[in-house]
Structure 1
Amino acid sequence: MSFNLTGSNSDVEATDALAREGNDEDQMSRGSLALAWSGVASAFFFVYIGAAMASAYGTANAIIGIILTILAYGAINAVLSKYALENRTTVAQFSRTILGTAGSSIATVIFALVAIYYAVFEGSIVAYAFMAAFGGEMWMWSLIVVIYSTPLILGGVRRFLDKLNGWLMPLYFFGLIAAVIWAGAVYGFSDAWLTHAPEVELPFTAGGPGWLATFAGYMGVWIMMMFTMDYAALGKRKDVKFHQRITFGPLFYVLAYGFSAFVGIFLTFTIPGVEVTETGLAGGIVSLMGVLGLIVIIASQTRINTANYYLAAANLRAFGERVFRVQMPNIAWVLISSVIIYLLMLLPIVEYLLLALAWQGVLVTAWVAIALTHILLARGKNQEHAAIADEHYRAFNNNGLIAWLVGTVIGFVMMILGAINPELAGIGSTWGPILTAVASSVVYAILWKTNPVSRTALVKVDAR
């Protein structure tokens, strides 16, 4: 029996019934999923980016921008996590609907690359902390970091990971609190971190108020939306409300962005000589707290890198199987991604990481805007599910691809303008991500209304 999905209710219901086969008991419990996802909150990148925003735009502007970011992330991820939970769909599987199978391969490889870049960043932080504490060479410590990180996402070790994250969470949280208290006790408590403002009106502030620039800066981390979908797909449908409100909701981002930014800002303007760089804050904590500071860094980075390594390997596998038709066991893809991560750690990639992520962030922002628009427009008419095989999808979905192209071109143009003329850098960095998201969403919505045939890349489903 086959159903041609062109938008009729009966066809949609048949597809929805197919997707809802399976037992919730096969999925992760709410506690296990919440604990596993909480590891993402301990990314040292969040400590760094909060300090960077405060240094650039002033603490007051940074705080306002971060509050708006927390609210926006909570609202968007409530929608994405609900959809992923109810349909058990990952980024790779969902992308087939909005982009087609060929287009989804692009999204998948971008997701894999961004996860790899974050693994390189977080791993380099640990390697640098080891080197600051014990000396030695970066290549050696980088190898050690990759060797101990890789097994944490393999087979039975992942079951141990829930407990590991449970142990490391308080160590990370109270470790950073200890760093704040320690720094205040040694260098004195003052309101300098709260009252900081840029000494001069920097050119890039011409793009708008500092709080808006901060909000736009955090849009470069919208890869967290894609992380959310892949993790939410592991949960139980009966736990939708819990995960919307707690696991992937604003409370998580209060910890991930709010608490981390507070620590980063305080330490930056309290410890003398700390540079607001990718490794400067980590080095400052190690120099301040010694071995205890090293333990805090290792705890935080080990937790986040379990997510980075897992998502990098999973999306590399999806890309390799779909594009190159390569079938290998999961361990092979894990090892391949780990080798790539180590090789990149040998390069001075951390120095260019933010630039690379900014360019890829345009692509990610456009994808998130299209995904959110699709889900909201297709409420009650879900047409994309993990239960449907690739052969039932078109190679290309023009609606999504056109919207993605328009949004990314706008974002790239804004970035190029900033690179060509430094006086326009603020306009590009502030309005680039915002215009990318708005343009992608508006174009997709218009095409949805005017081209109903391409509302989904789904062609047919054979139900037996």
Structure 2
Amino acid sequence: MSLTQEVPPSPLRTRVVDDPAVVAEQRADDYSNHVVPLTARVGRWQLAMSYWSLLSAMVWLFYGALAASLYGTTDALIAIGVSVVTFSLMAYPFTRWSLRSGLNSTLLSRRMFGVLGGSLTALLIAATTTYYAVFESSTLAVAFQHYTPSWDIRIWYAIVVVAMLPLMLGGVQTWMAKLNAVLLPLYVVGIVAAVIVAAVRFPAASDWTSFSGVVPQEARALPGWLLASVLYMGCYLNMLMNVDFARMAKKEDEGFHRNVTFGWVFYVCLYAVNGTVGIFLVRAAMPDQPAAETGVVQAILSTLGIAGLILIVASQARINSLNYYQASANWGRLATNLAGIRINRMLLVVGTSAVAFLLMLTDVFSYLQDALTWQGVFVVSWVAVLLTHYALVPEDRAHGPEFRALRLPRVTWGLGVWVFSSALGICLVEAPGVPAALAGTAQLVTLLVSAVLYGAVILARRATERSHPDPRDEVADPEAVRAECHRCAKSYVVVEMDREAAAGNAPVCDECATASLVPGRR
């Protein structure tokens, strides 16, 4: 018989309205390390306009032009159609999962990879969106240098980075949607004008569908449309960004967002429209040249002149607002998860801009293909693991998986699956002597291996029980009631709160709980 009795946990200090200190703080951070409460969710068009800043990236025109350059226009168009269908189908569970749970990609993936392993999700997004910011900014600098050939390109690199800074400081809750709603019509009008002018001005425009690609049929280990579809798998990063934006949606708007904001309407515009326009412009303006990273820019400038430059400026302002938003938010999550510190988002944006400028000096176009391939392999494996979990663990679908830092291990077998499958994909691409069929479909192989291995992990797993009390059981509605954290003295929705055993089972928010796991931060 025990001589001591366990002291019961102290009652939660609750409130049914938002904590003003949290609202003020999270206006800039968009609940980067927390569950998004229902009261912070934004309207359907506000979210759509914020996320649709993706539509105007030059990289989507480039992907279409590249696929056509390699495998021919017909195979590229088939691949675009396949990609629209597959991406739309995959977006459905990600949108539903994040919207209903309010979880970002890092928190959502903790159940599969562990608290530390989930942090690699933030690293992957931060690094990739920083790289995309470098690519898009370099594209804009090249466009400006076209009219000032005597200027050192590094001058334009610096001007572009500094000029873009004020546009990167807004979030989904503030003015990101307003910026992109104003610039979207300009982008649409510009793209339509470019197509019309190219059709009239360039004789080769009428023959753009007949191009057969620079890779001859006998050198293709697999059909061209399949190889081009695998090329588009390098864009699976959109699934992670889908999660990060869908968490800001209102639950009553789920149908709209599944079909429009993140669904088939979005992917028709993103891939079918942009990809076809990219193919047409490059084949019309530069029919004798293979697609290069700067080829789309040159095609637009040669078609529209100064008006084309304005179009490129508008498109880059839109996409870089998203790139810097995602990069800064995920660098911040990484700092919180690994070091237990919070960094002001303005400092993160400035730091990301400085890193982007330094990377621009390395001639980003020289290693574009390798970078896209490597990050594509990691992203494909991440997507495969989460979709497999969604399919095989029905209890985690409705309200999201367990994500609280004190209730999960640091790493899991799922992390091992992610790392192994990604390493396998990279080896298939880089190692000498790999059969062409495997090298050309490395991302598809990675997808299948990740799904099979993680499926085996799920079937072999054992349920783990946590004995300490759960605040969710102490209130009637964990999504509506807020509870005060004993560490930061701020109140967050109970669905993310836990009891910290090392502090006498005192209530703690997930950000503070995560920081407490960092050595020396207790």
TM-score normalised to structure 2 length: 0.79
Answer 1 or 2: which has greater helix percent: 1
Higher alpha-carbon deviation: 380-389 or 178-187? 380-389
Deviation, structure 1 residue 186: 1.3
Q: Distance in 2 between matches of 1:195 and 1:459?
A: 67
Which residue in 1 is equivalent to 2:298? 283
Cα deviations by residue, 1:190-226 (Å, 9 ceiling, x for unpaired): 54211110356267521x1011101100001111111
1:56 equivalent to 2:70? Answer: yes
- Of 226, 245, 251, the match for 1:237: 251
Question: Is residue 2:442 matched to residue 1:432?
Answer: yes
* Partner residue, 2:396: 381
The within-5 A match list for 1:40-439 is 40-135=54-149, 136-155=151-170, 159-188=174-203, 190-198=205-213, 201=216, 205-206=220-221, 208-272=222-286, 275-382=290-397, 389-398=404-413, 400-417=414-431, 420-421=432-433, 424-425=435-436, 427-429=438-440, 431-439=441-449
Higher relative contact order (CA 8 A, sep 6+): 1
Q: 1:460 to 1:172 in 2, by over 3 A?
A: farther
Aligned residue for 2:175, secondary structure, equals helix
Per-residue deviation, 1:428:
0.7
For residues 332 and 441 of structure 1, the distance between their equivalents in structure 2, rounded to whole angstroms, comes to 38
Query: Equivalent residues in 2 for 1:20-35 (5 A)?
Result: 23-35=37-49
Matched, 1:443 2:458: no
SS at match of 1:134: coil
Q: Secondary structure at the match of 1:220?
A: helix
> Paired residue for 1:462, among 457, 462, 470?
470
**1:21-52 deviations in whole A, cap 9, x for unaligned?**
97533111111001111110111101011011
Name the CA distance, whole Å, in 1 between partners of 2:469 and 2:103: 17
1:133 touches 1:294 (CA, 8 Å); kept in 2? Answer: no
Q: Distance in 1 between matches of 2:171 and 2:219?
A: 49
Q: Quote the offset at 1:169 in angstroms.
A: 0.9
Instruction: Tell me the distance in 2 between the aligned counterparts of 1:220 and 1:75.
Output: 17
Residues 157/67 of structure 1: CA separation in 2 closer, same or farther (3 Å cut): closer
Do structure 1's residue 453 and structure 2's residue 463 form an aligned pair?
Answer: yes
Secondary structure, in 3 states, of the residue corresponding to 1:396?
coil
Q: What RMSD, in angstroms, separates the aligned Cα atoms of the two structures? A: 2.5
Corresponding letter in the other structure for 1:50: G
By how many angstroms is 1:77 displaced? 0.6
Deviations 1:430-462 (A, max 9, x none): x211110111011111211122337x9x88663
Shift of the 139–63 alpha-carbon distance from structure 1 to 2, 3 Å rule, reads: same
- Report the AA paired with residue 132 of structure 1: H
Distance 1:74 1:151, change over 3 A: same
Q: Cα offset for 1:327?
A: 2.3
How many Å separate the matches in 2 of 1:281 and 1:303? 17
Contact kept, 8 Å, 1:393 with 1:460, in 2: the verdict is no
Q: CA deviation at 1:68?
A: 0.7
Q: Which amino acid aligns with 2:427?
A: V
Structure 2 unpaired stretches of 5+: 1-7, 10-33, 475-522
Shift in Å, 1:72: 0.4
Query: Is the 8 Å Cα contact of residues 403 and 444 (structure 1) preserved in structure 2?
Result: yes
CA contact (8 A) 1:33 1:234 kept: yes
**Counterpart Cα distance in 2 of 1:286 and 1:162:** 28
Q: How many residues are paired up?
A: 439
How far apart are the structure 1 equivalents of 2:338 and 2:93?
A: 29
Rounded to whole Å, the distance in 2 between the matches of 1:73 and 1:177 is: 25
CA distance in 2, matches of 1:264, 1:78: 27
How far did 1:386 drift?
A: 9.5
- Alpha-carbon displacement from aligned partner over 1:336-386 (angstroms, at most 9, x marks no partner): 111111111111122202211201211110001001111222224359869
Q: Compared with structure 1, are the counterparts of its residues 247 and 172 closer, same or farther at alpha carbon in structure 2 (3 Å cutoff)?
A: same
CA gap of 1:363–1:459, structure 2 versus 1, over 3 A, is: farther
Identity over aligned pairs, percent: 31
Q: Distance in 2 between matches of 1:92 and 1:281?
A: 34
| Structure 1 residues 333 and 383, CA gap change in structure 2 (3 angstroms) | farther
Aligned to 1:452, what secondary structure does the other structure show? coil
Residues 36-85 of structure 1: CA deviation (Å, up to 9, x unaligned): 11110111101011011011111111111110100000010111011000
One-letter code of the match for 1:428? A
Residues 295 and 425 of structure 1, relative CA distance in 2, 3 Å threshold: farther
User: Residue in 2 aligned with 1:15?
Assistant: none
- The residue aligned with 2:495 is none
Residues 111 and 403 of structure 2 are in contact (CA less than 8 Å); yes or no, is this contact kept in structure 1? no
Tell me the amino acid that sits aligned with residue 434 of structure 1. Answer: L
Which range moved further: 68-77 or 159-168? 159-168
